[in-house]
A and B are shown apart, each in its own frame.
Chain A
């Protein structure tokens, strides 16, 4: 029923206004197993939407192939690909009521009226739109419109479901609720899905796998856990969550020197003594205290109470500024700006970035990461 997707050697060049060309997608190879939900994650302009639109058939690849199962779909126009897409703007037909919006594709297939009624009503129930069949789209809230767009796709029982930043127009609370609904629905119907988003939390919460894209290329692909805990590059580490970086020197088989301090680390990825590398440490993997023993000495430069955590910007001697998260700050007291603190990174969370060549020419001091 549902199809695996295979993409090989895919390129998309756009003509740029100055007469040249701009590559939006470069040499993408990607396999998506049947029934999985894979997220394309990246900043705007990274090519994720272009890739999705090529899968849907709205953009013509400059070169490369797209397969659904064994069938090459490059030459199929969008209306014959049997995908169903949830658009960023929902793209609900404003002149049709909810029922007719959902029935649109089924009517095109010229199914018997009774079957259309049965399928549409079932999907409307599934998506919580049971009482809204005769409503006009303009009478619906944002979340309900989102559900109509989703129902319109699900009812088709397509080979592939495509999502183009479907939640970006909703407010934060609704976004959280809808992504749970989308994930549950997708797992229940088991249709292969490609989901485009620039929101890393959204990507992590709904995906079987995440494909991080940057400048038209795939930076890394993996489960949410792999992407977060073992980023393949500084870009990925920086884009997914917040990250602290530091340049390190390998001392021996189990020890790194960070900012003049030796720290025991279990996995050195086979680096030899004397080698230089760059490491990532997540803010929540650093233990901080005002007194006692610690690996580093630092001074608090900024303190923010965020409810579930307190986020501190700490200047560490010999390294630079790091972000440190302290859980459950409501119970403890906030540390004042200017206070002297000691910090200890959790050894198993010190992740060495594999791309050592990227280190060349980078200043020794690191900078605090930014929110994804």
Chain B
């Protein structure tokens, strides 16, 4: 093995630029992904006096508040996971396999929650079902109904995470050839048997994988619990935040963060190293008609109705936010007003600018770095390749709360003091949101014949030229999704960012949270609308730019 490593290094050394690039990437992943996690782990074993102790964990096990927080987070994660996957599978099945009207529109409405800030559904739920909610107070006249607690969080998280399950299951279903179902029907299976014995088992690894992804997201979710959990229903992520900002107990926060990290990492490990190798891909090159015959007409329309209902609810949530942003005091005074937007562009203008700047700086860095890492991992052999790949996508599984605490611990004191700066926000976003670009880059690159890049090298291109002129144009779709994801997340991030904002650098999502906290829902709705509009404009701009750029490369200049 060492012989292999040595010969790989010998080959790399012939391309010094590549070697330096590789070293720089490895170093920054170590510093900005791994090191903060190590600091959290260490802090969780330190007492108030700085000595090594297990008392943090002892206290955690001893106090009911923390036991409840763990139990609540886990049970919400499991329930949200199951329901989101059920809804996601249904949506994916209807939209990939059935011949129903309005598929495109339904697709976009279903994934809309992915591109919106984390509070949209939480704020909408308060608008609709809160103490002065439209449904609860105005329509039903309820006075003793409380949306806060388990049901509120679950409801809000389903709207936030079911679209993620849908997207991942859509990919799973699209890669299973419907001819297998046809074959089962052809040899005499009933529709129910076909679904039960063929369709479901084939998509089971994908279903389990989607469940774990939603579970990880739910465990890590910070915004929905903070708004909707309420004091009587403690959950891990907000609790860790409160320990640090409320009681200034950094080591307790770190201990909670580690407890939060364990289930997430376990789910991630299962998803990545067990399930991903068991997914079936049965699509061959042959085009097949993809309409499923395993549902009867009534069942088909029932499934369709459920999906349309979900889409209508999503639309309602957004309509409520939009109306709320223009409404004086929700629940009491429905006079239209521009006052909330005036506030956003007056008092909140700095946070709008800061958010945009952080997003605009971090997005291209994150997107490009993701493509470079994907290229290196798939196309170049070097010692520690697996470690680099793991390190670079690790942050996907680490809850933002843990990252935020880690960054405070790691970059608050020399040698690297970054807290309160613009840089810490950008660095956090770059390394946190790179994994999606890397994953899709790796997936796309694995399907591209490596000899295309070898041909470029053979004709005299260096590794970097090959990457710039051949690889990047070929993986433009992955580059696009990496950029969009990085931008959307930079605009909508809260869980890690809330630890890193300062008086000088503040973000809109944190503003939304503050406004919700102080009961000014109208202003938070206005902020949300602004975020959504910026995100939609950015997606349009990025897709236009990528389209132009890939056309332009048909005439290369070096």
Contacts and interface: CB of A to CB of B under 8 A. Distances in A.
Does A associate with B in a complex? yes
Interface of A: 15, 56, 58, 60, 62, 75-80, 83-85, 87-89, 91-97, 100, 104-105, 107-110, 149, 152, 156
Contact of A89 (B10, B451, B461, B554): B451
Contacts, number: 86
Interface in B266-306: none
Contact of B554 (A56, A100, A105): A100
B245 interface: no
A80 B455 CA distance: 13
A84 B10 CA distance: 23
Nearest to B458: A85
7 contacts: A56-B454, A77-B462, A91-B455, A94-B452, A95-B470, A105-B459, A107-B558
A95 B460 contact: no
Given A60-B10, A108-B461, A78 B454 contact: yes
Nearest to A81: B458
What 5 A-B pairs are tightest by C-beta distance, nearest first?
A: A105-B459, A91-B455, A91-B451, A87-B451, A108-B460
A15 B556 CA distance: 39
A79 B462 contact: yes
B556 A84 contact: no
Contact of A85 (B7, B455, B470, B550): B455
B474 A79 contact: no
Given A60-B10, A85-B458, 14 more contacts: A77-B11, A79-B462, A83-B458, A85-B454, A88-B451, A89-B451, A91-B449, A91-B452, A92-B452, A93-B470, A94-B452, A95-B470, A95-B550, A108-B459
A171 B457 CA distance: 29
B14 A87 contact: no
A144 B50 CA distance: 73
Contacts of A78: 454, 457-458
Contacts of A156: 459-460
B28 interface: no
A56 B553 CA distance: 27
A170 to B, nearest CB: 17
Nearest to B11: A60
B63 interface: no
B474 A95 contact: yes
Nearest to B7: A60
Contacts of A87: 451, 454-455
Nearest to B466: A79
Given A107-B558, A108-B558, A93 B458 contact: no
A21 B527 CA distance: 61
Contacts of B462: 77, 79
Which of A83, A88, A107, A109 has the largest count of B CB atoms less than 10 A from its CB? A107
A107 B556 contact: yes
Given A88-B451, A100-B554, A100-B555, A93 B7 contact: no
A317 to B, nearest CB: 51
A95 B554 contact: yes
A89 B557 contact: no
A80 B465 CA distance: 13
A320 B461 CA distance: 58
Given A77-B14, A100-B555, A104-B556, A93 B456 contact: yes
Contacts of B474: 94-95
Contacts of B190: none
B4 A104 contact: no
B364 interface: no
Nearest to A53: B454
Interface string B442-456: 000000010110111
A152 B459 contact: yes
Contacts of B452: 91-94
Nearest to B472: A95
A152 B460 CA distance: 12
Interface string B518-558: 00000000000000000000000000000000100111111
Given A87-B451, A110-B558, A104 B550 contact: no
Contacts of B470: 93, 95
A109 B459 CA distance: 9
A96 B465 CA distance: 15
Interface string B1-23: 10010010011001100000000
Nearest to B15: A77
B304 to A, nearest CB: 37
Contacts of A110: 558
B554 A96 contact: yes
B282 to A, nearest CB: 24
Contacts of A95: 470, 473-474, 550, 553-554
A95 B470 CA distance: 8
A198 to B, nearest CB: 17
B460 A105 contact: yes
B473 A89 contact: no
Contacts of B4: 15
Nearest to A149: B455
A97 B455 contact: no
B556 A100 contact: yes
Interface in B13-45: 14-15
Contacts of B558: 107-108, 110
Contacts of B555: 100
A94 B475 CA distance: 11
A109 B460 contact: yes
Which of A88, A93, A110 has the largest count of B CB atoms less than 10 A from its CB? A93
Contacts of A85: 454-455, 458
Nearest to B551: A95
Contacts of B460: 79-80, 105, 108-109, 156
Contact of B458 (A62, A75, A84): A84
A100 B553 CA distance: 10
Contacts of B10: 60
Which of A60, A88, A91, A156 has the largest count of B CB atoms less than 10 A from its CB? A91
A56 B454 CA distance: 10
Contacts of A108: 459-461, 465, 558
B13 to A, nearest CB: 9
A124 B437 CA distance: 39
B557 A79 contact: no
Contacts of B11: 60, 77
Nearest to A108: B460
